[in-house]
Structure formats: structure tokens, C-alpha cells
Amino acid sequence: VELPRGATGVEWGTDLSFVGVYVRALLPGGAAEQSGLVEPGDQLVAVGGAPVFDATFDAAMTALATVGAAPTLEFFRGSRGELLEAVGRETKKTGTATVTVVDPSGRRREIVVQPGANLRDTLVNDGIDVYRGTTAWTNCAGHQMCGTRGAGVLVL
């Protein structure tokens, strides 16, 4: 699928591993939606012919930012396991992750995150405000998806 760089009309996502990129949502009227070829859940596998299916989220976004004005993007429709099987990679068995969230008052909450889940989505769906103050509404139309997040992540 050829989509204009910077105006793909795609909200990108990744899972807890931050490896692999998928289509989180299509922006109404955007190039991806208008193409009729891209759906939420599709996984980005190549940018301009270069594989990104096993790249980190940042590396895949860098690939998107450095290609021509209308790069060819290749997608896979299916699970991450099916994609890895299709390219001859073995899938790892993983379990759930438990994330401890500490709110500003010091209250702790344990959130269980399923394998392959998007951490930000899981936190937002569990009522956790991942942005503080007005940044929740001044960035990305209040969708809590821009880079000025207020929640910190500490990996132990």
C-alpha cells in the first residue's frame, strides 16, 4: 500500500515488548482508510521494501520518517505468532505482566497486562490517566496518544 509519509491516517501501536508495530486505529478520512486496504490490527512488516516486522517501535517510526514522500508499506493481517511463523521465526511463550501503578497520592494499584497487549491502552482502559493535567486534552485531541505522557515506567 502506498501512503503519503506523515499523513498515513494511521494511529500506530506496539505491545509491551516494543518490538513490532501494528495499526491501532485508522483516522476517519485518512489515506489508509481511503485506500480500503488497511485495517486496525494489521501489522507493519516493511517500509519501502525494508523489513520492520522485528524492529523496535522507534526504529520502525524512524524508517517511516526517512523514506520518500509516498512509501510502499507492507502489512500482515493476523496474529503476531502467525506473522513470525510466516517468516520462519519461532514464537516465544510469554505470560502476563503485572504493572504496579502509583498515583500522586501514593496509592498503589496492580494492573495485569496480557501478552501482546498495548500497555498504554491497558492503563487507559483501566482508568489510569497516563497524562497529567491539561496535556491529556491539549495533545492528540484528548486521545492520550502523544509523546508528552505524565506516567513514568520503572522496570525492576
> Cα separation of 19 and 22, whole Å?
10
* pLDDT band for position 134 (cuts 50, 70, 90): low
Q: pLDDT tens digits for 69-128?
A: 778 899 999 888 888 888 887 666 667 888 888 877 888 888 888 877 777 788 888 888
Buried b (16+ CB within 10 A) or exposed e, 54-75: ebebeebbebbeebeeebebbb
Contact 117, 97 (CB under 8 A): no
Q: What is the pLDDT of residue 45?
A: 93
What is the percentage of the chain residues whose pLDDT exceeds 70? Answer: 78
pLDDT of residue 54 exceeding 80 = yes
